[in-house]
Structure 1
Amino acid sequence: MLLTSSLHVDEARKAIAKLVDELIKTSASNDGVSEIETVSLDQAINRILATDLLSPIDVPAADNSAMDGFAFNGKCLETKDSGIALAGKPYEGSIGPGECLKIMTGALMPAGCDTVIPQELVSTQDQHSITFQQNQLKPGNNRRLRGEDLQKGKPAIAAGRLLRPSDIGLAASLGIATLPVKRKLRVVILSSGDELCALGQPLVSGSIYDSNRYSLTGLLNRLNMEIVDCGIVRDDPSSLKAAFIDASTKADVLISSGGVSVGEADFTKQIMQELGDVGFWKIAMRPGRPMAFGTLKAVPGKSCSTLFFGLPGNPVAVMVTFYQFVRAALLQLNGASQTEPTLMQAISVEPIRKKAGRTEFQRAILGRNAEGRPTVKITGSQGAGILRSMSEANCFVILGHDQENIAAGDWVDIALFDGLL
């Protein structure tokens, strides 16, 4: 893998996606990340559906009413009320010419009826008859057809879906109790740096608490990954090499933080040359400029290579590079069909300084103005070490490679941290 200076964000994403695709093809021949397991619905949230989920039934199971009103043959303009049907309790009589049936939403359509007029559009002449205007509906209106939503034997949920609560509910509505999903990826995380201090230990001069592993743990838990925490590794070649070899025997993916900036990574590069194909990138972005990416060679007893991400050491840069590169790669490797977050736009309430030539991911708070339009405000100082800026934010403002200064009132792209479902 070539060492590239000032790699464009989009170029980095394409390179990562290409390598992950190659790894998937290699792994598939060795039952690696292609393994499938069956889980109950209460264990399926945020898992990747492995195969198309076929509906075992038609939905709806029969023609039924979409409205509270009166069912009749659509050729009729004036009918007589001959009974009542409730949802789930079909009418047992027959509906003849010129007759109608009072019907509730979801009730089965009686034989001979193909149209429903909402009750608010009719006039009741007496307790046995109704009238309505001819131009208020057409034959077939307000009738749900059998199989209109889902047909028996057809896909209800496509393979590759990151299963959400609504998907779990849909499966349950079809009477399905278990789902085939891709096995969880095994992800090893570690932090590198002599200055790092474990929680519970007293800080000494020049040391800082290691927050990166805890941020990464939270991010990986959101994706329902299997996490192996290898702790803090000191800045010496033998310790790092031993940690990387150990991780490559345990995991599909290794994520490290620290030790990839200029000056720090000299011996790390040497180790990576021995263990695999890893490139050290300078990406035209802020924060998170230095990053390493590639694969560690397969070790004895393991059939395929381990995907490797060497993230920066600054806490915000770790989270930004995870969101922008690692998250999509993990979802892709795990078989997800949708890997990129959905973008929306909001009005910047203040000017934002920006130089062309790099992509910026500014931490911000999404709100709404008096007119109901979405607005966004930067969370103050955007330094890569200010973790508070991530804690306060609920979205990124994404400023593209060629964009320059943003004026108050300009529309900007944003990516939300959390999804509704």
Structure 2
Amino acid sequence: MSDCGCSSVAEPSMKPLEEALALLLSHAQAVPEYDTVSLAEANGRVLAEPVISQINMPPWDNSAMDGYAVNTADLNETPCTLPVSQRIPAGAAPEPLAAGTAARIFTGAPVPPNADAVVIQEVCEQQGDQVTIRQSAAPGANIRNAGEDTRIGQKVLQAGTRLGAQHIGLAASVGVSELTVYRRLKVALFSSGDELISPGQPLGPGQIYNSNEYTLRALLQALGCEIISLGIVKDTFEATCDALSRAAGQADLVMTSGGVSVGEEDHLKPAVEALGSLDLWKIAIRPGKPLAFGHIQGTPFIGTPGNPVSLFVTFCLFARPFILKRQGVREAEQTPTPILARADFDWPKAEKRREFARAQLNLDAQGEAQVSLYSSRSSGVLNSLTWANGLAILPEQQTLVRGDMVQFLPFSELLK
């Protein structure tokens, strides 16, 4: 695996990942405003108030199978032949079951009073108005009891839940049509660099396309943010201060890409310090060391590195949990849990910084999960992120040999 030539030394001023993340999250307060939205508009939003069931679900005992509703006291022997006294499709209101009879019933239909079991149709044979039941049944067989799923007054969804299909379906099942959610977080973003132009324009000498804005946009859109784009800002102190001030005045969070290093053309650090405070600058990770966090006129600011892989990694590790907390997402859902798999590589050199390597998780010939690394460690190779399906966590001060267990963060957890 090739190296980009970047230094892996951990400078004394670098903060460990856990300390840096704790600092960010300590400044993340949920937005105080709420929206009321219909179920059709709720996907991806964050609940601000819990959902309390006003009904029992199911509201009545119902059949879990197609078959015949019976009173088990009438099944004295098997096979047993009983007259069929009624037919009960879903949505019907059945009559009480007459003693010594069976009722033809279908999945989801209400179980008639006096019946205490449903015998599946596969062990029954109906001829005319009689049915022969060839298998006995215990009381309660194939019946879903009223309130088995939820009961009146039960909290079915907690505040802070990020709503998906399953949550919206559950809310609908208890009759809720509208939900109270946190308003969307407004994020203002811009890119810093005179070399940048927008896609679709012809490249001039020394120019590159501004891929970072579109990467950031997609990452923020996946989190349900409202995006305010200020475009590309010139590499001057004055232009940077102006953009930061305008962004802070109209957003809940300001995000930038590039310009957070220490070169003569990197103006974000002094601009943020001039307009507010810079609370964090360097993290002891690779890629993504130059991550900036602070406040501009009271508005939180996150400055991601200009290298595209560094931007992506720092967003996933730091910006994502910060944004989720500001959106009101409960703590348990803010950070993903790594999975363990065997390394399909050697890591012979103990590094000073924790590495989040682009990696693939696959199954080997024996069906066991294994992790492979991308061939280059360069933080400028955006193609590596389309090859990878996650990040392998390679601890600082530690070597690895093929077959060792490593932690893996799948993109499926980081990009939602």
Counterparts of residues 226-265 of structure 1 (less than 5 Å): 226-263=226-263
Alpha-carbon shift at residue 373 of structure 1 (Å): 3.5
Alpha-carbon shift at residue 340 of structure 1 (Å): 1.6
- TM-score (norm: length of structure 1): 0.84
Counterparts of residues 28-177 of structure 1 (less than 5 Å): 33-74=31-72, 77-78=75-76, 80-83=81-84, 84-96=87-99, 99-120=101-122, 127-132=130-135, 138-177=138-177
Alpha-carbon shift at residue 295 of structure 1 (Å): 1.8
Q: What is the alpha-carbon distance in structure 2 between the residues aligned to residue 45 and residue 177 of structure 1? A: 13
Match of residue 20 from structure 2: 12
Q: What is the alpha-carbon distance in structure 1 between the residues aligned to residue 74 and residue 350 of structure 2? A: 70
Q: What is the alpha-carbon distance in structure 2 between the residues aligned to residue 307 and residue 353 of structure 1? A: 40
Alpha-carbon shift at residue 317 of structure 1 (Å): 0.3
Indicate if the aligned counterparts of 1:82 and 1:100 stay in contact, CA closer than 8 A.
yes
Deviations 1:215-252 (A, max 9, x none): 00111111111111111222221111111111110110
Indicate if the aligned counterparts of 1:71 and 1:113 stay in contact, CA closer than 8 A.
yes
Counterparts of residues 276-295 of structure 1 (less than 5 Å): 276-295=276-295
The partner residue of 1:329 within 309, 322, 332 is: 322
Alpha-carbon shift at residue 397 of structure 1 (Å): 1.8
Q: What is the alpha-carbon distance in structure 2 between the residues aligned to residue 415 and residue 275 of structure 1? A: 36
Alignment pair present for 1:341 and 2:326:
no
Match of residue 220 from structure 2: 220
Alpha-carbon shift at residue 333 of structure 1 (Å): 0.3
* More deviation, 234-243/161-170: 161-170
- Cα distance, 1:406–1:188 mapped onto 2, change above 3 Å: farther
Indicate if the aligned counterparts of 1:382 and 1:389 stay in contact, CA closer than 8 A.
no
Indicate if the aligned counterparts of 1:75 and 1:139 stay in contact, CA closer than 8 A.
no
Deviations 1:253-277 (A, max 9, x none): 0011112223458754333233222
* More deviation, 72-81/60-69: 72-81
Alignment pair present for 1:306 and 2:299:
yes
What letter matches 1:68 in structure 2?
Answer: D
Q: What is the alpha-carbon distance in structure 2 between the residues aligned to residue 355 and residue 75 of structure 1? A: 74
Deviations 1:8-47 (A, max 9, x none): 11111111111214xx4xxxxxxxx211112233322211
Structure 1, unmatched stretches of 5+, are 25-32, 298-304
Deviations 1:313-334 (A, max 9, x none): 1011001100110011101001
Q: 3-state SS of the aligned residue for 2:57?
A: coil
What letter matches 2:343 in structure 1?
Answer: S
- TM-score (norm: length of structure 2): 0.85
Q: What is the alpha-carbon distance in structure 1 between the residues aligned to residue 398 and residue 115 of structure 2? A: 61
Match of residue 362 from structure 1: 357
Match of residue 411 from structure 2: 417
Indicate if the aligned counterparts of 2:57 and 2:173 stay in contact, CA closer than 8 A.
no
Alpha-carbon shift at residue 200 of structure 1 (Å): 4.0
Match of residue 317 from structure 1: 310
Q: What is the alpha-carbon distance in structure 2 between the residues aligned to residue 323 and residue 354 of structure 1? A: 26
Q: What is the alpha-carbon distance in structure 2 between the residues aligned to residue 355 and residue 142 of structure 1? A: 60
Structure 2, unmatched stretches of 5+, are 1-10
Indicate if the aligned counterparts of 2:63 and 2:106 stay in contact, CA closer than 8 A.
yes
Q: 3-state SS of the aligned residue for 2:291?
A: strand
Aligned pair count reads: 397
Q: Percent identical across equivalent pairs?
A: 40
